């Protein structure tokens, strides 16, 4: 009974330790994946925003780009620190395991040595025969034969246990050396990242000092851009409302304030496919980084100015092609006096908007397929920026593109 309880306790402790090791390894993999994502993002930022040092940028554009890179680098340092701390815990765990295994191995070897000595003293066949012949009856002789067999098996098991414990100890030692090397590599990488961050923070302070001298002018420019963006958003909403009214009229339904699209069976199927691909949808440009995310937020440069972003601003390379993120139909192409064209593509009761276009290759009513090129992004000659403004609407309400586009 005692042996059974000990066995159960050992299994419980073993399963808990295995579970803890697995969760730590899983966490380590998650952190490594996140660190690689951040490193790739910095690489993309450098390629798309800082590659051409001869390109003249406005001070606000420069500080926006720098702020963006600083925020990503800070995240990289944070994740790398988390990884190093987790490795420290795993190293400590392995060192404790090594100590325990060494103690267990020493006990096993000591017991095995004693057993071998005892076995050697009584190893002669004559001793074994005399041990059996001295039995008082057949039953006792049979039990003694069983004992001799069990003793031999036990010797073998102890020898195997020593081999297993030795191999386990060697494996943990190897793992420990790898973990220490990985931790040292992370520490070195973080030192480099910290030096880069300090350099960027210095540049940031210099640029902000220059911007603060003309803060009122920059604030006025930001608010003018915000008004232009709001004007485009209102125009898109108006077009969608008109399309909803037209779909209901065609279906013989009355349009109310809460009406949505009266969808055909084909349009319903398309909308269902669009929703089923949530989180897996294609990026509208092949290479890009999100400079401004969805929602209400402080301006990246002038923090006391709040901006409302109903989509995302994606920085990309010059002459970048714009791609339809899913199958659909071109609903409308919007042109404005002060801004660049916007293409609206309908996917059932969802609409995707691609703004700040330089060239457009589609027209109203065209059927487009996933990844089909619909135009090119405009590059601002004064700032040198190539920015695509991208939004997703469900009926007339905007949704967060980061929840729909793969790894945005």
CATH architecture of the domain formed by 229-403: Distorted Sandwich (2.70)
Is residue 221 scored above 90 in pLDDT?
no
**122 against 195, higher pLDDT:** 195
**41 against 135, higher pLDDT:** 41
Is residue 5 scored above 50 in pLDDT?
no
Give the model's confidence band at 135: pLDDT under 50 very low, under 70 low, under 90 confident, else very high: low
User: Taking all residues of the chain, what is their mean pLDDT, rounded to a whole number?
Assistant: 84
56, 58, 59, 65: CA torsion to nearest 10: -80
> What is the mean pLDDT of the segment spanning 262-280?
96
Question: How far apart (Å, rounded) are the C-alpha atoms in residues 80 and 134?
Answer: 72
What number of residues does the chain have? 408
Helix (H, G, I), strand (E, B) or coil at 277: coil
Give the model's confidence band at 146: pLDDT under 50 very low, under 70 low, under 90 confident, else very high: confident
- The per-residue pLDDT for 331 is 97
- Distance, first Cα to last Cα, the chain: 58
User: Domain spans of the chain?
Assistant: 2-213, 229-403
> What is the mean pLDDT of the segment spanning 61-83?
93
Q: Is 357:377 a contact under the CB 8 Å cutoff?
A: yes
Tell me the CA distances in angstroms from 60 to 307, 361, 384, one per residue in order.
15, 32, 12
Tell me the CA distances in angstroms from 10 to 7, 15, 110, 154, 170, one per residue in order.
5, 9, 22, 20, 22
Give yes or no on whether 2-213 and 229-403 have one common fold: no
> What is the mean pLDDT of the segment spanning 279-307?
91
Q: Is 79:35 a contact under the CB 8 Å cutoff?
A: yes
> What is the mean pLDDT of the segment spanning 358-374?
97
Question: How far apart (Å, rounded) are the C-alpha atoms in residues 156 and 141?
Answer: 23
Question: How far apart (Å, rounded) are the C-alpha atoms in residues 263 and 131?
Answer: 94
Question: How far apart (Å, rounded) are the C-alpha atoms in residues 262 and 252?
Answer: 9
Q: pLDDT over 90 for what percent of the chain?
A: 50
85 is written with which tokens?
């701390």
Question: How far apart (Å, rounded) are the C-alpha atoms in residues 386 and 263?
Answer: 36
Q: Is 131:121 a contact under the CB 8 Å cutoff?
A: no
| The pairing of beta strand 387-394 with beta strand 373-377 | unpaired
- The per-residue pLDDT for 119 is 60
Question: How far apart (Å, rounded) are the C-alpha atoms in residues 86 and 91?
Answer: 9
Q: Is 306:338 a contact under the CB 8 Å cutoff?
A: no
> What is the mean pLDDT of the segment spanning 368-391?
93
Spatial strand order of the sheet with 357-360 comes to: 321-323, 373-377, 357-360
Of 9-23, 53-67, 175-189, 351-365, least confident by mean pLDDT is 9-23
Give the model's confidence band at 13: pLDDT under 50 very low, under 70 low, under 90 confident, else very high: very low
Of the spans 64-73, 145-154, 271-280, which averages the highest pLDDT?
271-280
139 is written with which tokens?
């039953």
| The pairing of beta strand 373-377 with beta strand 321-323 | antiparallel
Is residue 365 scored above 90 in pLDDT?
yes
Residue 402, Cβ density class (10 Å: 0-12 exposed, 13-18 middle, ≥19 buried): middle
Question: How far apart (Å, rounded) are the C-alpha atoms in residues 339 and 109?
Answer: 82
**130 against 362, higher pLDDT:** 362
390 is written with which tokens?
């991208």
- The per-residue pLDDT for 312 is 97
Is residue 54 scored above 60 in pLDDT?
no
Fold category of 2-213 in CATH = Helix Hairpins (1.10.287)
In this predicted model, what pLDDT tens digit does every residue of 303-328 receive, in sequence order?
Answer: 888 889 999 999 999 999 999 999 99
- The per-residue pLDDT for 100 is 77
Give the model's confidence band at 271: pLDDT under 50 very low, under 70 low, under 90 confident, else very high: very high
In sign, the C-alpha dihedral spanning 351, 355, 361, 364 is positive
> Could you give the count of Cα atoms lying within 13 Å of 376 in the half-sphere of its Cβ?
9
In this predicted model, what pLDDT tens digit does every residue of 330-358 receive, in sequence order?
Answer: 999 999 777 799 999 999 999 999 999 99
Give the model's confidence band at 39: pLDDT under 50 very low, under 70 low, under 90 confident, else very high: very high
Is residue 116 scored above 90 in pLDDT?
no
Helix (H) or strand (E) holding 338: none
| The residue to which tokens 């006391």 are assigned | 304
> What is the mean pLDDT of the segment spanning 185-203?
94
């Amino acid at each position: 009974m005692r042996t059974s309880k000990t066995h159960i306790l050992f299994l419980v402790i073993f399963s808990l330790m295995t579970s803890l090791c697995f969760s730590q390894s899983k966490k380590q993999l998650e952190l490594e994946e996140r660190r690689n994502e951040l490193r790739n993002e910095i690489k993309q930022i450098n390629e798309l925003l800082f590659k051409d040092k001869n390109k003249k940028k406005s001070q606000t554009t420069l500080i926006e780009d720098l702020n963006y890179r600083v925020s990503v680098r800070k995240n990289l340092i944070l994740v790398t620190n988390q990884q190093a701390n987790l490795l420290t815990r795993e190293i400590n765990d392995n060192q404790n395991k090594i100590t325990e295994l060494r103690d267990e191995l020493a006990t096993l070897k000591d017991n095995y040595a004693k057993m071998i000595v005892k076995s050697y003293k009584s190893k002669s066949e004559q001793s074994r025969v005399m041990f059996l012949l001295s039995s008082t009856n057949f039953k006792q002789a049979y039990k003694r034969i069983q004992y001799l067999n069990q003793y031999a098996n036990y010797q073998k098991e102890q020898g195997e246990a020593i081999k297993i414990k030795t191999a386990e100890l060697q494996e943990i030692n190897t793992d420990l050396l790898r973990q220490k090397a990985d931790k040292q590599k992370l520490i070195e990488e973080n030192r480099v990242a910290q030096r880069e961050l300090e350099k960027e923070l210095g540049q940031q302070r210099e640029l902000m000092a220059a911007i603060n001298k003309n803060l009122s002018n920059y604030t006025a420019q930001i608010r003018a851009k915000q008004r232009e963006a709001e004007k485009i958003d209102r125009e898109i909403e108006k077009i969608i409302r008109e399309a909803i009214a037209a779909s209901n009229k065609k279906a013989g339904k009355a349009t109310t304030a809460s009406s949505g699209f009266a969808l055909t069976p084909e349009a319903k199927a398309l909308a269902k496919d669009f929703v089923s691909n949530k989180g897996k949808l294609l990026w509208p440009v092949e290479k890009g980084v999100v400079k401004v995310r969805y929602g209400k937020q402080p301006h990246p440069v002038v923090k006391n100015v709040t901006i409302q972003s109903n989509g995302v601003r994606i920085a990309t390379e010059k002459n970048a092609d714009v791609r339809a993120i899913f199958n659909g139909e071109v609903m409308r192409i919007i042109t404005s006096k002060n801004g660049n064209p916007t293409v609206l593509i309908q996917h059932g009761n969802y609409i995707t908007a691609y703004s700040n276009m330089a060239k457009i290759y589609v027209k109203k009513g065209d059927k487009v397929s996933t990844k089909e090129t619909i135009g090119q992004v405009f590059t601002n000659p004064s700032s040198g920026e190539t920015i695509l403004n991208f939004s997703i609407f469900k009926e007339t309400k905007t949704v967060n593109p980061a929840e729909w586009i793969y790894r945005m």
